[in-house]
Amino acid sequence: RARVKLRRLHLMHIDASYVRRGAVDPAGLFHRADVTDEARALQAEVPAQIADMRGVIAGDCPDTPFGPHCKSPHPCDLWPMCSAHLPEHPVLELYRARKEAVFALIDRGVLALTDAPADALNGKQLIQQRTVASGRAHVEPGPLRAWLEGLAYPLHCLDFETVAAAVPLYDGTGPYQQVPFQFSLHVVESEGAAPRHLAYLAETAEDPRPGLIEALRGIGPTGTILAFNTVFERGVLRELAAGFPGHAAFLDGLDDRFSDLLTPFRNFWYHHPQQRGSCSLKHVLPALTGRGYAGMAIADGNQAMREFQRAVFGDVDAAEKRRVLEGLREYCEQDTQALLEVLGVLSALAPR
């Protein structure tokens, strides 16, 4: 209808196997797939689909019930409006509950987490329900103390920030590869000692990994390395070892020293109603300490990634770059400071 004659239709997408060597090679970065036949097969359906869309736009707002479609494949922009009538702790907060099961409860008129029938909940969800009903945290001092006693000093609290660009930023990296550009490390030499802080942040467009690896040698040869959800930190170290085999012995040697601060929360040795069904650090920290990330210039890892790319690779003036880099330092340090604070609360709840 636009009077544009199309001979062939191709879909371009990123080739995940591409590795940057020097300047980006567009022919290597993208994979081109001919979808002409598939598009032609669908062409006859387009007029009817357009008519349906226009009908929806012209009609009244549909009275659509809650359902998995509210969250998948993407969160709906109207969710805040549609969910305004829900109680403070809705069944949607149930820990690791299948969306279909939760929305089935809502369809039955069960909105509050405390009203969910016990036979529909597993053991952890029953603990969660009791904490919400009582307003008090659930604590299991025995396993909590056993886990705490497994930590060895000096204690190293570690957090990485990474950048994962579709178009690789550095030689030797591929699309969406997690490349660390920053870390924060709090070291506590002995129980009760004041922590000292070490950090690294790349400030130029050069590959940050060599400098970051050297700075990581601030981690001593003994003691526990504590992180929250160690899968991420350990994965970063493994990729560094693969990319820089000359440092592999050092980096691989850190792996078996990790302990995961997520463990007490995932096992529900501690659970607070204000975690709202989440065991992430962003929920655990305010639940335990009343302090969180609200009001910080950079408040989450995705924002840190975007701001790093903007400040280092974008067209920003020197003052703005300094502001962003300072925000990144503050955010990453907050993450490892949070590990210490959470650990302190858990230690007080399960004394020797």
The pLDDT of residue 269 is 98
CA pair distance 61, 59, nearest whole angstrom: 7
The pLDDT of residue 71 is 84
Residue with tokens 């969406």: 176
Residue type, 12: M
CA pair distance 118, 114, nearest whole angstrom: 9
Residues 6+ apart with CB under 8 A from 350: 139, 141, 142, 144, 145, 148
The pLDDT of residue 2 is 80
**What is the pLDDT averaged over residues 208-233?**
97
**What is the pLDDT averaged over residues 74-84?**
90
Is pLDDT of 63 > 90?
A: no
Q: Tell me if residue 267 falls in helix, strand or coil.
A: coil
Residue 136: closest CA among 127, 145, 144: 127
Residue 234: closest CA among 262, 211, 265, 207: 262
In the structure encoding, which two tokens stand for residue 343, read together? 């650990």
Are 336 and 160 within 8 A, CB to CB? Answer: no
In this predicted model, what pLDDT tens digit does every residue of 81-130 receive, in sequence order?
A: 888 999 999 999 999 999 899 999 999 999 999 999 999 999 999 999 99
CA dihedral 38, 41, 47, 53 (to 10 degrees): -50
309 vs 72 pLDDT, higher one? 309
Q: What is the 3-state secondary structure (H, E, C) of 135-163?
A: CCCEECHHHHHHHHHCCCCCEEEEEEEEE
Q: Tell me if residue 279 falls in helix, strand or coil.
A: coil
CA dihedral 201, 203, 209, 215 (to 10 degrees): -40
pTM for this prediction: 0.90
The pLDDT of residue 72 is 87
**What is the pLDDT averaged over residues 29-50?**
94
Is pLDDT of 1 > 90?
A: no
The pLDDT of residue 267 is 98
CATH code given to domain 140-352: 3.30.420.10
Is pLDDT of 67 > 90?
A: no
| 165: confidence class by pLDDT, cuts 50, 70, 90 | very high
Q: Where are the domains of the chain?
A: 10-58, 68-136, 140-352
**What is the pLDDT averaged over residues 154-172?**
98
CA pair distance 175, 212, nearest whole angstrom: 21
**What is the pLDDT averaged over residues 174-191?**
97
**What is the pLDDT averaged over residues 261-277?**
98
What residues are paired with 159 via a beta bridge?
A: 184
**What is the pLDDT averaged over residues 188-196?**
96
- Summary mean pLDDT of the chain: 95
CA pair distance 139, 284, nearest whole angstrom: 14
The pLDDT of residue 259 is 99
Residues 127, 128, 130, 134: is their CA dihedral positive or negative?
A: positive
Are 158 and 234 within 8 A, CB to CB? Answer: no
Residue 152: closest CA among 257, 267, 262, 260: 257
Strand 155-163 with 225-227, pairing? parallel
Residue 208: closest CA among 185, 238, 178: 178
| Packing angle, helices 318-349 and 301-313, rounded to 10 | 160
The pLDDT of residue 61 is 82
| 343: confidence class by pLDDT, cuts 50, 70, 90 | very high
